[in-house]
Amino acid sequence: MKLTCKYLASCRGCPLGHLDIEDQRNQKKNKLTESLKNNLPAAMIKNTVYDFVFPVFDRYRTRCDFIYSEGKLGWIDQDKKFLPIEDCPLHVSKLSELASLITKLPWPVKRGSMRLRVSPAGGLGLWLDLANLDIKEILTNSAILSELLDKEVIVEMGQKGKRVVRSGNTFKLTDPTPYPWFKTEVAGHPVDLNSLISSFTQTSPELNLKMIQHLKSFLVDQKFNNVVEFGSGVGNFTLFLTSYTSALNVIENDQRNLIPLRQNIAQFGLQSKISIFESVHSFFKENKNTAGLYFVNPARSGVGPLFDQPVPAQSIVYVSCHLESFLSDVAKLSSHGFSLVKVTLFDQFPHSDHFEILSYLELAPQPAAGGGV
């Protein structure tokens, strides 16, 4: 089975799309296992149990970051030129319909970024990450916003993700307003997860629920005195982690995620279990204790200096979308005495050369002092 897409030769999104899906999957499996073997100490991966999950083929993505350029939505292609995209086979059909509606509007903008989103209930969202002058122009030119709001498209604007509201015949920006754009799990049940259109979320709510099941299989029925979560985003994993601890310290530094995170925590009455820190530095200033579990899901750049000192935890779950930073962070954990117990390739990015890595590490038992003959 192969992907059908007229842009395969030039689009940078699917460099493996010309291969049969089984060949793509084997290539990814080999890439992961060989990279771990070649970059990590043998002792660290001696007993690692591997799993490979390929949950999707096409029509699964519910959000997309486009470039808008002179009447079209598209991306930068392999030759670094703008490539207009009429339909991407990875997008759910409602996302493609929204893209088509947006390209028909007479935007007074030459170029800028637009994120499109579809919610699990079918809600439509548009984040216009444009220059201030363009934002001003769109707010005063009521035709475009009228048409979008008449069609019940929720619109956010600018770096802060402020919400556009109508007041009579005029439009203005109000505070960022979370909306159930995504899904997660709380206490074993799928629930709506609030975010901004401009917040980080995983690629698809359905895949996310599957990924959570897999992460739960790492933790089984363990209970931890306390858990530290780095890179919580809007609380996607935070909420299910409260089933494993009564004290969760969360580190997240982006306001577009922190606003919905606080709302999600309050909505489920979890304020007494969760403390939020807006930087690693502020977390360590107040917390000197060891944790049962570190749960990290960093951006592509990895965890930064978090693993530069010994990590005061017994177990670590590391969820990564970027193999290179995963390898260098996990190599540091090896020097702090951790072993890779489980590694799962969970493919949220079919046809690309990326994949999500779900991993579980434990502090290897230290040899007894003075022991041995």
* Candidate list 233, 260, 302, 350; residue touching ligand SAM; CB under 6 A: 233
On whether the CB atoms of residues 177 and 190 are closer than 8 A, the answer is no
Which sign, positive or negative, has the C-alpha torsion 346, 75, 102, 65?
positive
Q: Does 297 bind ligand SAM (CB under 6 A)?
A: yes
Q: Please identify, among the stretches 29-37, 49-57, 113-121, 245-253, the one whose residues bind ligand SAM according to the rule CB under 6 A.
A: 245-253
In angstroms, give the least distance from the CB of 278 to ligand SAM: 7
Q: Does 254 bind ligand SAM (CB under 6 A)?
A: yes
In angstroms, give the least distance from the CB of 136 to ligand SAM: 28
DSSP string, 70-92: TTEEEEE-TTSSEEE-S--TTB-
Q: How many residues bind ligand SAM (CB under 6 A)?
A: 19
On whether the CB atoms of residues 1 and 58 are closer than 8 A, the answer is no
Q: Does 348 bind ligand SAM (CB under 6 A)?
A: no
On whether the CB atoms of residues 233 and 297 are closer than 8 A, the answer is yes
In angstroms, give the least distance from the CB of 179 to ligand SAM: 15
Q: How far apart are alpha carbons 8 and 23 in whole angstroms? A: 17
On whether the CB atoms of residues 329 and 352 are closer than 8 A, the answer is no
| Subset of residues 181 to 220 that bind ligand SAM, contact rule: CB under 6 A | 200-202
* Candidate list 48, 103, 198, 236; residue touching ligand SAM; CB under 6 A: 236
- Give, in degrees to the nearest 5, the angle at Cα 221 between 310 and 334: 25
Q: Does 299 bind ligand SAM (CB under 6 A)?
A: yes
Q: How far apart are alpha carbons 247 and 291 in whole angstroms? A: 10
> What is the 8-class DSSP label of residue 225?
S
> What are residue 195's phi and psi, to 5 degrees?
-155, 175
Cα 229 from chain centroid (whole Å)? 14
Q: Which amino acid is at 257?
A: N
In angstroms, give the least distance from the CB of 338 to ligand SAM: 20
* Candidate list 13, 298, 302, 350; residue touching ligand SAM; CB under 6 A: 298
Q: Does 176 bind ligand SAM (CB under 6 A)?
A: no
Q: Please identify, among the stretches 60-68, 112-120, 136-144, 232-240, the one whose residues bind ligand SAM according to the rule CB under 6 A.
A: 232-240
Q: Does 304 bind ligand SAM (CB under 6 A)?
A: yes
C-beta closer to ligand SAM: residue 19 or 299: 299
C-beta closer to ligand SAM: residue 153 or 259: 259
C-beta closer to ligand SAM: residue 134 or 252: 252
Q: Which amino acid is at 102?
A: I
> What are residue 333's phi and psi, to 5 degrees?
-65, -30
Q: Does 245 bind ligand SAM (CB under 6 A)?
A: no
Q: Please identify, among the stretches 6-14, 125-133, 231-239, 363-371, the one whose residues bind ligand SAM according to the rule CB under 6 A.
A: 231-239
In angstroms, give the least distance from the CB of 237 to ligand SAM: 5
In angstroms, give the least distance from the CB of 117 to ligand SAM: 14
Q: Which string of b and e fits 68-90 if b means at least 16 CB within 10 Å?
A: bbeeebbbebeeeeebbbeebbb
Closest CA to 263 of 203, 209, 196: 196
* Candidate list 129, 156, 252, 356; residue touching ligand SAM; CB under 6 A: 252
Q: Does 65 bind ligand SAM (CB under 6 A)?
A: no
Q: How far apart are alpha carbons 316 and 333 in whole angstroms? A: 9
The residues that touch ligand SAM, with contacts defined as CB under 6 A, are 200-202, 231-233, 236-237, 251-254, 257, 279-280, 297-299, 304
